[in-house]
């Protein structure tokens, strides 16, 4: 059973608007969370991460929010650009024990011009 | 350019055949991983290695084997391929912080 879930397989957004991607997890022991971006025919690339001791991390247009009590995190992209069209994977790990990542199924974002 | 090299980029394989997917990194990362990507399931861990000489099973290890003879190479072998192993396979590595994997470009494998 998947421990990291992305329930929205796709998202379409107008250029310049906000994209919000959601991710839920079931293992309360996860202590580190990451987002990866993947273009077709390429490997995933690291985008942004957050430790469980924080509730927000920001890097340019990308912000990740963590709600530990709800076991939920989200990625906000503001403003969305055509180059943001890609598949986004949410991932989680147990850093104290190992660094293996558990991934969600991914959300395909399409930014419309 | 530092990173991970996977070979082949794609392969069509007859069921029952043996196949080794190659993965080489030049970043001297201790940990390496093999994932498979399937639609609706995301990336699932097949096998991993925390350091040269050690390996471990991931979420979906059946039908696959790995070895880690040195730091740079982490081949994945399908002993007798089956159609359910049709997938895109990604090799990845991470340093001791474990923060942010580096992925290869993937191998698209079709078993017929």
**Is the CB of B2 inside 8 Å of chain A's CB atoms?**
no
Closest alpha carbon within chain B to A50:
B99
Q: What is the dihedral of CA B6, A96, B42, A34, to 10 degrees?
A: -90
Using a CB–CB cutoff of 8 Å, tell me whether B66 touches chain A.
no
pLDDT per position as a tens digit, B8-61 = 999 999 999 999 999 999 999 999 999 999 988 999 999 999 999 999 999 999
- Is the CB of B88 inside 8 Å of chain A's CB atoms? no
Nearest C-alpha in B relative to A91: B43
Q: Any CB–CB contact under 8 A between B76 and chain A?
A: no
Q: What is the reported pLDDT for B33?
A: 95
What is residue B87's predicted lDDT score, i.e. its pLDDT? Answer: 97
Sort out which chain B residues have CB atoms less than 8 A from A2's CB and list them: 41-42
DSSP B73: B
Distance CA A72, CA A106 (A): 15
């Amino acid at each position: 059973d998947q421990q990291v879930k992305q329930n929205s397989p796709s998202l379409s957004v107008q250029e310049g608007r906000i994209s919000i991607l959601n991710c839920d997890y079931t293992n309360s022991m996860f202590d580190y969370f990451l987002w990866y971006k993947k273009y077709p025919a390429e490997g995933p690339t690291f985008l942004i991460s957050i430790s469980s001791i924080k509730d927000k991390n920001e890097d340019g247009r990308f912000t990740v929010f963590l709600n530990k009590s709800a076991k939920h995190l989200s990625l906000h992209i503001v403003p969305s650009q055509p180059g943001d069209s890609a598949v986004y994977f949410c991932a989680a790990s147990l850093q104290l024990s190992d660094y293996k990542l558990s991934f969600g199924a991914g959300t395909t974002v399409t930014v419309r011009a | 350019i530092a990173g991970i090299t996977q070979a082949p980029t794609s392969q069509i394989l007859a069921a029952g055949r043996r196949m080794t997917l190659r993965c080489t990194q030049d970043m001297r990362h201790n940990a390496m991983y093999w994932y498979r990507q399937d639609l609706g399931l995301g990336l699932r861990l097949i096998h991993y290695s925390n350091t040269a000489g050690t390996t471990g099973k991931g979420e979906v290890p059946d039908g696959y084997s790995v070895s880690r003879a040195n730091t740079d190479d982490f081949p994945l072998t399908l002993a007798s391929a089956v159609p359910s192993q049709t997938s895109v396979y990604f090799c990845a590595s991470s340093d001791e912080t474990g923060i942010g994997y580096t992925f290869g470009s993937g191998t698209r494998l079709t078993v017929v």
